[in-house]
Amino acid sequence: MSETQKRLLLVAMPWLAMTGLLLLWEVACIVFDVPEILAPRPTRIIETMIQRWDILLRFCLETLWTTIIGFALAIGFGLLLGLAIGASPFVYSGLYPLLIAFNAIPKVAIVPILMIWVGVGALPAVITAFVISFFPIVVNVATGLATIEPEMRDVMRSLGASQWEILTKVGVPRAMPYLFASLKVAVTLAFIGSVLSETVGGNRGIGFLMLSAGARNDAPTTFAGLFSIAIMGIALYALCALVERRMTRWAFRAEIVG
Amino acid sequence: MPVTEPSLVELRQVSLAYGSGASRMLALEDATLSIAKGEFIAVVGPSGCGKSTLMKLVTGLLPPTGGEVRVHGQVVKGPIRGVGMAFQAPTLMPWRSTLDNILLPLEVVEPHKRRFRAHKAEYVARVEALLASVGLGGFGAKYPWQLSGGMQQRSSLCRALVHEPEILMLDEPFGALDAFTREELWSVMQKLWMERRFTAVLVTHDLREAVYLADTVYVMSRRPGKIVKIRKIELPRPRTLETTFQVEFVDIVHELRERIHMEHA
Ligand SMILES: Nc1ncnc2c1ncn2[C@@H]1O[C@H](COP(=O)(O)OP(=O)(O)OP(=O)(O)O)[C@@H](O)[C@H]1O
Ligand SMILES: [Mg+2]
């Protein structure tokens, strides 16, 4: 196999794997004669997606928005708190146990409470997306800061740099690859958060659409919703991965062109 | 060096212990030395005898557990400002280009810090000249991880020198280099020192390096480190590679080596 063939195959592999999986599903449905209400065939799901694309798109966009807003909040607060925790041992020892405890709470348990507080609608979804994606960002940023090489710190200190200068000139750039690595994880979590909130109780978003389609025994639409979520998840993941590559090329030791 | 010259750095019976309680360990004991302004000293001794510790004490990165360190007659309480330091590892920042790495001290140390934004072009030119003087002309735009180990070490030396510090601390900066590069950098170092006359403290394992570069060589004992010998080197400057083969030079190296061997006995 030549180099170019290898590279082509590498690019094609994800698509091949996906097609293979869908094909297997399709065949299994036909062979075992699975009723549509249990698991519709992929061709049927895709057909539904094409037929009802306008509704799907509308509900998807609602979910996308709440996810992105919750995610953006998580980045902002996560970065700040991560920097504070990583930079100060006092903040660390004070807040870290609290964070762990909070992270251990199943988020599905807080959605009903949120609904009591802020009602139904976009807000509980935004908040759920935020709280669920917040944690990995904080932990990663704090880790990036806490693992600054002591020699690097000595270089800065011997130049007479202030704590603030050490933070901005070493800490923040050092924490960036950790931040971007966590974003890929966090963005998928944010999705889980908003869809979770929509399905537990809501009147909007793709989660709500799936819930109501399920109640009508409209399995193809429910599965079409599922597929849409997967597609959005992949798209946002890819976006984060792209941003990561562009922002922290030094961490990959990639050849910088031009 | 005439003794009448005022000393810039003075250590009086400085000792340092790491840890506390049962894990307490004496790394340095009763170090007394004084370094004149513009003097180049070298510290040699067995591994683990406290040489790096001595460096950190002089620059105020570590507070001594006994005795006192004075710079400019003032007792050192925190990190003293505007020293240049180069370590055994290059410690360059991978997210900055070589040029930006060397600009770092100028962004932090006064008076450059104040002028930095307005006079950036001037500073960039200064860094490029410095890079050229260590044989790295034109490599400024490269990232440290695109350079070889020796080139990184040279960049790290540039960073230690760029803000023209009064005191330069070198902790085995040539240790990881091959013999050819090392000897070439000795002469670069000597040239820079003769031009600028900063005060330099060099820690090294290499006795030839110490004798080549220093005015005074301090030999330390095994842990806990004590200064067991002070040897003035009065060979004329500039010293060259030829000098290292002359009898006087070789005799001094032998004399030092014998003293260190006594430590291992
Ligand atoms: N941060 C630390 N905590 C505890 N002990 C330390 C620490 N740093 C150094 N030591 C100990 O102090 C002693 C002196 O260390 P130092 O680094 O000064 O040695 P050195 O003379 O520079 O050695 P080398 O030539 O190998 O670099 C060593 O025995 C080491 O184990
Ligand atoms: Mg050392």
- A136 pLDDT exceeds 60? yes
pLDDT digits 0-9 by tens, A69-107: 999 999 999 999 999 998 888 988 998 899 889 888 888
CB contacts < 8 Å between A and B, how many?
A: 60
Q: With bands split at pLDDT 50, 70 and 90, how would you rate the model's confidence at B5?
A: low
Sign of CA dihedral B177, B181, B184, B188: negative
pTM for the model: 0.80
Pair (A117, A164) in one structural domain: yes
Please name the residue whose Cα sits nearest to atom 4 of ligand 1: B18
Q: Domain check: are A78 and A202 in the same one?
A: yes
- On the question of pLDDT at A24 being above 60, the answer is yes
Which chain A residues are closer than 8 Å to B159 by Cβ? 155
Same domain, yes or no: A23 and A127: no
Q: Specify whether the CB–CB gap between B136 and B158 falls below 8 A.
A: yes
Strands B25-36 and B74-75: unpaired
Residue nearest to atom 25 of ligand 1 (CA): B47
Q: Which ligand is closest in space to the CA of residue B43?
A: 1
Option in B93, B94, B105 nearest A159 (CB): B105
pLDDT band at A158 (very low <50, low <70, confident <90, very high): confident
Is residue A37 pLDDT above 60, yes or no? yes
Ligand 1 centroid, distance to B40 Cα (angstroms): 23
Residues A7 and A112 in one domain: no
For ligand 2, the distance from its centroid to the CA atom of residue B258, given in whole angstroms, is 21
Tell me the CB-side half-sphere exposure of residue B131, using CA atoms within 13 A.
Answer: 23
What six digits make up the tokens of B135? 């044989």
Average predicted confidence (pLDDT) for chain A: 89
Residues A13, A99 share a domain: no
ipTM higher than the 0.90 cut = no
> In percent, how much of chain A has pLDDT > 90?
52
Per CB-CB distance under 8 Å, the chain A contacts of B142 are none
Ligand nearest the Cα atom of residue B87:
2
pLDDT tens readout for residues B82-139: 688 888 888 899 999 999 999 999 998 888 888 888 888 889 999 999 899 888 888 9
Residues flanking ligand 1, CB < 6 Å? B 18-19, 25, 27, 47-53, 223
- B220-242 pLDDT, tens digit per residue, is 988 788 888 899 999 998 999 99
Q: What is the mean pLDDT of residues A164-179?
A: 90
Nearest ligand, CA B220: 1
Edge-to-edge strand list for the sheet holding B25-36: B25-36, B7-18, B66-71, B74-75
The tens digit of pLDDT for each residue in A193-208 reads 999 998 887 788 899 9
A32 in helix, strand or coil? coil
Domain count, chain A: 2
User: Both A142 and A15 in a single domain?
Assistant: no
Give the domain ranges of chain B: 1-82+201-265, 83-165
Q: Which atom of ligand 1 is nearest to the CA of B28?
A: 14
Task: Identify the residue with better confidence: A202 or A221.
Answer: A221
**What is the pLDDT, as a whole number, of residue A150?**
87
Q: Can you give the residue range of the structural domain that contains A188?
A: 40-257
**Domain B83-165 in the same topology as domain B1-82+201-265:** yes
Name the residue with higher pLDDT: A235 or B7. Answer: A235
pLDDT tens figures, B144-197? 989 988 889 889 999 999 988 889 999 998 887 888 888 988 998 999 899 889
A17 and A68 fall within a common domain: no
CATH of the domain at A191: 1.10.3720.10
Shortest CA distance from B147: residue in chain A? A253
Structure tokens at B264: 């291992």
Q: How far apart are CA B175 and CA B81, in angstroms?
A: 26
Query: Which residues of chain A are within 8 Å of residue B104 when distances are taken between CB atoms?
Result: 159, 169
Query: What's the gap in Å between B52 CA and the centre of ligand 2?
Result: 4
Q: How far apart are the first and last CA of chain B?
A: 33
pLDDT class of B265 with cuts at 50, 70, 90: low
Q: Mean pLDDT over residues B4-26, rounded?
A: 84
Query: What architecture is the B1-82+201-265 domain classified under in CATH?
Result: 3-Layer(aba) Sandwich (3.40)
pLDDT tens digits for B30-55?
888 899 999 999 999 888 888 889 98
Examine residue B224 and say whether the peptide bond preceding it is cis (omega within 30 degrees of 0).
Answer: yes
Residue A137 predicted with pLDDT over 90: yes
For residues B212 and B244, give the distance between their C-alpha atoms in angstroms, rounded to a whole number: 7
A44 to chain B, any CB pair closer than 8 A? The answer is no
Question: What backbone phi and psi angles, to 5 degrees, belong to A120?
Answer: -85, 175
Distance of CA B22 to the CA centre of its chain: 33
Q: How far apart are CA B132 and CA B20, in angstroms?
A: 47
Query: Considering only CA atoms, which residue is closest to atom 5 of ligand 1?
Result: B18
**Helix A205-215 with A219-247: angle, nearest 10 deg:** 160
Residue A160 above 80 pLDDT? Answer: yes
pLDDT of residue B87: 85
Contacts of B95 in chain A (CB under 8 A): 173-174, 176, 248, 250-251
Query: Same domain for A84 and A182?
Result: yes
- Residues A112 and A208 occupy one common structural domain: yes
Q: Inter-chain contact A169–B169, Cβ cutoff 8 Å?
A: no
Distance, CA of A157 to CA of A167 (rounded, Å): 12
| A255/chain B closest Cα distance in angstroms | 9
Query: B1 pLDDT exceeds 50?
Result: no
- Do A4 and A65 lie in one domain? The reply is no
Minimal-distance CA residue to ligand 1 atom 30: B48
Which residue would you say has higher pLDDT here, A250 or A240?
Answer: A240
Q: Tell me the CA distances in angstroms from B166 to B122, B169, B193, B197, B229, one per residue in order.
A: 21, 10, 11, 9, 26
The CATH superfamily label for domain B83-165 reads P-loop containing nucleotide triphosphate hydrolases (3.40.50.300)
A202 lies in the same domain as A239: yes
Report the pLDDT value the prediction gives residue A254, as an integer from 0 to 100: 57
B231 - beta bridge partners?
A: B217
B56 contacts on A by Cβ (under 8 Å): 154
